[in-house]
Amino acid sequence: MKLLALDTATENCSAALLIGAQLIEREFESARGHAEHLLPMIEALLSEADVRLGALDALVFGRGPGSFTGVRLAASITQGLAFAAGRPVVAVSDLAAVAQRALTLAPDCAAVLVCNDARMGEVYWAPYTRRGALAEPAGPERVSPPAAVLPPPVAGRAGAGRGFAAYPDLAAQTGVGVPVGWERLLPRASDLLRLAVPEVEAGRVLRAQEALPIYVRDAVAKPSLT
């Protein structure tokens, strides 16, 4: 299988290429500059693997929630590349990507509460459980003040994501343990790939025009008509 993934929903700008069992990736963390760096990163990956866009099975992108500008950037670049190459698309949750990274780091962990900093005194959050080696949603994606966050309804759970760094009381409030370093986890393109592989294998892919962002915070993302 040949898949290209990209993500710009948070401070972490990343791209990853899966060619069979080989995974190569590029990433850098910055508050801005993703638009200038992403296409050169993608070009470098394709050149290193000597693969053309048209030879890919699908393109994968982080569809949010996250920075409005970043989520739109990933969706628009994915659309453009998919149209140009005539390839299908897979959209993967950025919260699920953090959960996947956490479950990969801790094979004994049964569930993860992902909380990413949404600014404006809120967090994007969702619970995930383990299904084999993959993260599976255990509830909807939400945005709320930290006080409204609920833990996963299973034992053996942990917390991950920068919402825990932004709001240090969140772990105690939700009753989850946050392993050292997990409060700094951000989505990565390589974790998007892990979640996308079974989607492609099952034929659950989208057309290029369906590569759309998911904001969750609709009240801010959509202008008022009144």
Domains of the chain: residue spans and CATH = 2-93+187-221 (3.30.420.40), 94-184 (3.30.420.40)
Place 182 in a pLDDT band, splitting at 50, 70 and 90: very high
Q: Residue 183: what are its φ and ψ, rounded to 5°?
A: -75, -5
Give the pairing type, strands 89-92 and 142-144: unpaired
Q: Indicate if the alpha-carbon torsion angle 175, 122, 214, 70 is positive or negative.
A: negative
200 near 90, Cβ under 8 Å? yes
Q: Say whether 112 sits in a helix, a strand or coil.
A: strand
Helix extents (H) in the chain: 34-49, 68-85, 94-105, 163-166, 170-174, 189-201, 218-221
pLDDT surpassing 80 at residue 196: yes
Dump pLDDT digits (tens) for 115-159: 999 999 999 999 999 999 999 999 999 999 999 999 887 777 899
Q: pLDDT value at position 217?
A: 78
Query: What's CA 189's distance to the chain center, in Å?
Result: 7
Give the pairing type, strands 22-29 and 58-62: unpaired
Dump pLDDT digits (tens) for 59-68: 999 999 999 9
Q: 68-85 vs 34-49: helix axis angle to the nearest 10?
A: 40
Task: List 160's β-bridge partners, or say none.
Answer: 114
212 near 63, Cβ under 8 Å? yes
Q: pLDDT value at position 214?
A: 94
Q: Say whether 218 sits in a helix, a strand or coil.
A: helix
pLDDT surpassing 70 at residue 222: no
